[in-house]
A and B are shown apart, each in its own frame.
Chain A
């Protein structure tokens, strides 16, 4: 039961309290671009959950070896990047050989796996000395955090794009950034951080 609650609390923390897209800007450009065409959101989010959870588990397991655990931060970061790249290549190769998928799916693999959000998970887990179960929870939560961030940006932007009161120089990309900043500020409020100390 404790294991379940460890995972759940880590996932809830990653989604709401420290939404990685808003609090750290991880995967922000993917989320903002996805918000403009949310049709591919579900498949991309599923892939992000897969890549981030699997990489988090592999990296946490590797860290159990004394030799790796005793290495410097830079070596850890290098190992984690290598692990994610290996997961990406193996997944793509197996999918390509077994399923013969359409090219669009293979393209989505690249977008979902090789972005800052997915690599940030093992790095954050390492820095916060998370357990294996917490790592799984954070990996899973990060995918849902991405969905939440994209939906919030998309919903707000559909209103903003039809608002003619916005000055011409702010329409489009500029207002998108300001709106995302306000969402980021709102999530900081949930985490209890003091933004203007």
Chain B
């Protein structure tokens, strides 16, 4: 399950969910670590609560509740960072509170948690967290080295680095290159999944990608 949810169907590189924090805020290892912890705790809590209590709740209410759960994790972290680690707090800017609104929780809870048991939902949350946080950390490390010539705040390169890597377009380029590398690896081992990565973005309504709200709703109607 971890291989499927975290690697083969990686949330960022394949499913294209939760791009904003990775592209914009993952500019250093410290930022990526904070975002990873917040993301993982928030997703695991959301999926457990959705699977445990929200299966019979109306969908539009559930989606709002995911945001409240996300905020319940994000804001205590923000208060702590504002008080004890101002550098990380200002480095993350408005991207940390935006984690509360990440579409990721909604997509995964609607796609998986409300249709499965607590145990299965927990494993799904862990697998997705590993996949998402892995990309967050790799992107953070690459951008800190290429953009600032540092790693974990320590100078490692004789040159200053290209500041463009610290900007959202630099993040997108790094994600794009990682996605290509990931696809090449998948093509070598699992060809069917590689074809799925290509299908994900075609201008065809029938190829409405799995992992979106639309997909979750369609599936529910089909079951009825």
B-contacting residues of A (Cβ < 8 Å)? 22-30, 32-33, 35-39, 72-74, 77-78, 80-82, 84-85, 88-89, 92, 96, 103-104, 106-107, 109-111, 114-116, 118-120, 123-124, 127, 154, 157-158, 161, 168-178, 180-182, 184-185, 188, 193-197
Report B-chain residues with C-beta under 8 Å of the C-beta of A194.
163
Selected contact of A33 from candidates B14, B199, B209, CB within 8 Å: B209
Cβ contacts A to B, 14 pairs, < 8 Å:
A29-B19, A80-B97, A81-B75, A88-B64, A110-B106, A110-B213, A120-B94, A169-B184, A172-B201, A173-B201, A174-B180, A177-B175, A178-B177, A188-B169
The residue among A72, A82, A177 with the most chain B CB atoms within 10 A of its own CB is A177
Q: Is the CB of B82 within 8 A of A73?
A: yes
Is the CB of B208 closer than 8 A to any CB of chain A? yes
Instruction: Decide if A72 touches B82 in the complex (CB within 8 Å).
Output: yes
The number of residue pairs between A and B whose CB atoms lie closer than 8 Å in the complex comes to 204
- B63–A168 touching, CB < 8 Å: no
Q: B209: which A residues are within 8 A, CB to CB?
A: 33, 36
Do residues B187 and A96 form an inter-chain contact, with CB atoms below 8 A?
no
A178 to B179, CA, bound (A): 10
A110: B residues at CB distance < 8 A: 59-60, 63-64, 106, 213
- In the complex the two chains form, is B183's CB within 8 Å of A169's CB? yes
Min CB–CB distance B195 → chain A (angstroms): 9
For B18-43 the 0/1 string (1 means CB < 8 A from A) is 11100110000000000000000000
Which residues does chain A contribute within 8 Å of B13, judged by CB atoms? 173
Please measure, in the bound complex, the distance between the C-alpha atom of A109 and the C-alpha atom of B62, giving whole angstroms: 12
Tell me, yes or no, whether B152 is within 8 Å of chain A by CB.
no
Of A24, A82, A123, A188, the residue contacting B24 (CB under 8 A) is A24
Contact A77 B179 (CB under 8 A): no
Nearest to B103 among chain A residues (CB) is A115
Pairwise interchain contact A77-B67, C-beta atoms closer than 8 A: no
The smallest beta-carbon distance between A78 and chain B, in angstroms, is 5
Task: Report which of B68, B78, B79, B98 forms a contact with A116, defined as CB distance below 8 A.
Answer: B98
Known: A25-B23, A88-B67. 19 other contacts (CB 8 A): A24-B20, A33-B209, A36-B200, A36-B207, A37-B214, A74-B82, A81-B75, A84-B101, A96-B60, A111-B213, A118-B101, A157-B203, A169-B187, A173-B13, A173-B200, A174-B176, A176-B16, A181-B176, A182-B169
Q: Which residues of A contact B23 (CB under 8 A)?
A: 25, 28
> Are the C-beta atoms of B168 and A25 separated by less than 8 Å?
yes
Q: Given A25-B20, A161-B201, A196-B164, A119 and B180 touching (CB < 8 A)?
A: no
Judge whether A157 and B201 touch: CB under 8 Å.
yes
Which residues from 182 to 224 on chain B have a C-beta closer than 8 Å to any C-beta of chain A? 183-184, 187, 197-203, 205, 207-209, 212-214, 217
Which residues of B are found within 8 Å of A96, using beta-carbon distances? 60
Residue of B nearest to A194 (CB): B163
CB atoms of A114 and B187 under 8 A apart = no
Query: What's the Cα separation between A126 and B60 when bound, in Å?
Result: 28
Kindly list chain A residues whose C-beta atoms are within 8 Å of the C-beta of B78.
74, 77-78
A161, B203: Cβ atoms closer than 8 Å: yes
Please name all residues of chain B whose beta carbon is closer than 8 Å to the beta carbon of A109 when the two chains form the complex: 60
Q: In the assembled complex, how far is the CB of residue A80 from the closest CB belonging to chain B, in whole angstroms?
A: 8
The reply to whether A81 and B71 form a contact with Cβ atoms under 8 Å apart is yes
Chain B 65-86 per-residue mask, 1 if CB under 8 angstroms from chain A, else 0: 0111001000100110010000
The verdict on B53 contacting chain A, using a C-beta distance below 8 Å, is no
The answer to whether B20 touches A195 (Cβ under 8 A) is no
* Contact A115 B101, beta carbon cutoff 8 Å: yes
**Residues in B whose Cβ lies below 8 Å from that of A77:** 75, 78, 94, 97
Chain B residue at smallest Cβ distance from A153: B201
**Given A25-B168, A110-B106, A103–B71 Cβ distance below 8 Å?**
no
A28–B23 Cα distance when bound, in Å, is 9
A28→B201 contact, CB < 8 A = no
Q: Pick the contact of A26 from B17, B75, B98 — CB < 8 Å?
A: B98
